[in-house]
Amino acid sequence: MCGIFGIVVDKEQSLGSILTDAGRRLSYRGYDSVGCATLRADGVIDLRKDVGKVDAVAARHRFDEMRGTRGIVQLRWATFGAPSPVNAQPHLDSDGDLVGAHNGNIVNHVELRAQFIAEGLSVRSTNDGESCVHAVERYVARGENIVDAIRRAYRDLEGDYAFVIGRVGEEKLYAIKKGSGLVAGMGEGFTCVSSDLPSILPLTRRIVRVNDGEIIALDANRIELRRVDDGSVIAREPEIVTASMDAAIKGGYPHFMLKEIHEQPRLAGELLHLLEAAPHATKMIARMKRARHLYLVGCGTSYHACMLGAIYLARLAGRAAIPILAPQFIAQYGGALSADDVGVFVSQSGETKDVLNAIQVAQARGMGVQGLVNVLGSSLMHASECYLPLGCGYEISVPATKTFMNQALTFLFLALKMGNHSTDVLARLPDLLEQTIATTEPQVALLESALVTADDLYCLGYGLTYPIALEGALKLKEVTYTHCEGMLSTEFKHGPLSAVGEGYPVLFVAGPEDTPLLVSGINETTCRGARSIALGEEDARLRANAHDLIVLPNSGALINPLLATIPLQLLAYRLSVARGYDPDFPRNLSKTLTVD
């Protein structure tokens, strides 16, 4: 995540307010720390940074006093290195001649950091943004011009990222893109570059989009694009952007919920890089293996991820795990915990009061505490002996979408590793998620008119898809205000079947291994007049028995539950909008629940 913005102007002037305003407009991308750097005409780099949100840091360090011909602001959403002043960006090189900042993740940061220290470079932080600066510095020190140094650094830096860098004695800024967002703007007497449009549009509507594998050089009156692979110049005309600021912040989507659904393929790919490089992963798995009892603890959506995680761990690692709602954890298991037990605590915000209460009891009993953490620097992170980052960035919409996906993916990764299986099976997931969005959006749209007036429905699953059915039902309840109950499909006949009548909608989430069982459940409802809607891979049996089939890409039993999540999210979103509700801010709900 994170947000970067850089600007080059035609004469030295006050840049602090411009950089602060740009930072405000990128504040949804990062809130752990903020930093500003200006490069003055006298060759001095003025660098000011600290932990906190943009307005507080700007006031504390008097950003409005900062002058220069070039400037960079960065808002950090922490991944590598805890939130701290030294880990805040931008970063300097060893001699203070280069200054730069990034967004994204440098997944080989730990290895690079060791190399830089061995080479005698001045490494001041544990943040991967500093690795971007030193990766350029090492080649500048060997006599390369800065463009060629950036090209070579690009090959050294693994992961998905974009970074901007400036050098004393030049009048340009340079930026490069590999996976993370980057867009440039051209105005009268200035050019600028940013992670995202919202920080640029108040300044100019003349935009140049940067693609992966491209370097952009900015001076006050022109920009130049070059290819990383051969250094050749790219001709690209600027476009005029007419979108409103609100639309720009939402990436052109009408709501944050839809934007965040569409972010899942990219974020899943970034998470896979993060997990392979995470320093705590090996230690965390070893501790889980040794546990007498292993608990997976969360609330709401996070609890559903825990349920799926328990199935993955049993199936792939032969390890029993107990998924449990955080407030019930204390009543049900609090008195039986010991130092031989381990809990994996899961929270989108890292501040969920029920989860923190459960941790307090666990620690009092000496139990091992581990975390799946989306917000680094949160209470959950600090309470955890070891943790894994979820890498979702700031999730603005109240209903959790991308955080659930990455929680579930992290549990699948842990289960594969714990069972000594290859994680190569996960490499296709980002593409499969992209394909699922593209193919199921029109299928879901066809169901909107049939379901928009339904006041009650069920969402049923079995085995690996049971937690997905619960999560789908929760999403429908949250944003449509419809009563939707998630349930194990085989339990439906033990009472709830009595609710079914003519046209009553029942959703079936069908895993490829469980189709025969789901077909029986489908017929138990359709023979009583229900409208059955199946979500699953293309299967003649589902076609023949269900009224509707939302077809998922073929992926196998392990990946299928993750893909099935997508159309349920899309269905909840579409029905919410069709009913005239705002899916981003459903009534009576809060994003972070910090009360009992």
Catalytic residues: 2, 591
Token readout for 501 is 């009548």
Instruction: Write the secondary structure of 453-484 as one string of H (helix), E (strand) and C (coil).
Output: CCCEEEEEECHHHHHHHHHHHHHHHHHHCCEE
Measured in degrees and rounded to the nearest 5, phi and psi for residue 443 equal -70, -40
**Could you check whether the bond before residue 90 is cis, i.e. omega within 30 degrees of 0?**
yes
Token readout for 596 is 């009992």
Q: Are 344 and 46 in contact (CB under 8 A)?
A: no
Q: Are 183 and 236 in contact (CB under 8 A)?
A: no
Packing angle between helix 353-364 and helix 326-333, nearest 10 degrees?
30
List CB contacts of 157: < 8 A, sequence separation 6 or more.
106, 108, 112, 131, 132, 135, 178
CA dist 327 and 541 (Å) reads 41
Burial 216-234 (b: 16+ CB within 10 A, else e): bbbbbeebebbebeeeeee
Residue given tokens 């009892």 in the structure block:
293
Chain centroid offset of residue 322 CA: 26
Instruction: Write the secondary structure of 157-178 as one string of H (helix), E (strand) and C (coil).
Output: CCEEEEEEEEECCCCCEEEEEE
Residue given tokens 């619960």 in the structure block:
470
Q: What's at 440, amino acid-wise?
A: T
CA dist 171 and 10 (Å) reads 9
**199 closest CA partner among 46, 3, 50, 47:** 3
Q: Are 65 and 260 in contact (CB under 8 A)?
A: no
CA dist 283 and 155 (Å) reads 29
Residue 375, SS3?
coil
Measured in degrees and rounded to the nearest 5, phi and psi for residue 38 equal -120, 145
DSSP 8-class letter at 136: H
Q: Are 116 and 71 in contact (CB under 8 A)?
A: no
